[in-house]
Amino acid sequence: MYIGVDSLTGKELGTTRRDFKTKKEAELAFSCLKLEINNGTYKKRQIETYQDLYDLWVNHYENTVEESTFVKTTAIFKNHILPAMSEYRIDKIDVAICQMHVDEWAKKLQRFRMVKSYAAKVLDLSIKGGIYKVTLLF
């Protein structure tokens, strides 16, 4: 659903809802969401996906390492971690999902432990920041 334009960035904003059991339930949620948007009370959850959390983490990480390290790290994310995990909702990531990706990385990468470590650093942010209360997954 289109929800407007971000005043800060000028980009169009949208949101989705899923996992409804019936069409009536989905329509009710849609109506409630429209009402919130029209009343100006709608607030998008800031961090919903692994990609959202990564974006927050990488901004901080860039200021803590040398440029060459930052370039290497972002390449690891771009080539291995984000294609696998970027669309996952943070509150839905569990041990089984993480282990599945670690197993995939172990089959195709010699230094898969480093990839696993970087993926875990992003999830650590959600735990330490109190975004989601989960057990350490990686």
pLDDT more than 90, % of the chain? 43
Distance of CA 69 to the CA centre of its chain: 22
- What pLDDT was estimated at residue 135? 44
Residue 134 in this model has a pLDDT that exceeds 50:
no
Q: Let me know if residue 44 belongs to a domain.
A: no
What Rg, from alpha-carbon coordinates, does the chain have? 18
Q: Considering the entire predicted model, what is its pTM?
A: 0.63
Q: Are residues 9 and 56 in the same domain?
A: no
Structural domain containing residue 104 = 50-128
Q: Which of 24-33, 92-101, 127-136 has the lowest mean pLDDT?
A: 127-136
Q: Do the Cβ atoms of 1 and 30 come closer than 8 Å?
A: yes
pLDDT tens figures, 31-64: 888 888 788 777 666 677 899 899 889 988 999 9
Residue 7 in this model has a pLDDT that exceeds 70:
no
Based on the structure, what is the number of domains in the chain? Answer: 2
Whole-number Å distance between alpha carbons of 94 and 80: 19
Q: Are residues 14 and 33 in the same domain?
A: yes
Q: Are residues 66 and 94 in the same domain?
A: yes
Which CA distances in Å does 70 have to 39, 58, 66, 76, 93?
A: 43, 9, 6, 10, 26
Q: Let me know if residue 90 belongs to a domain.
A: yes
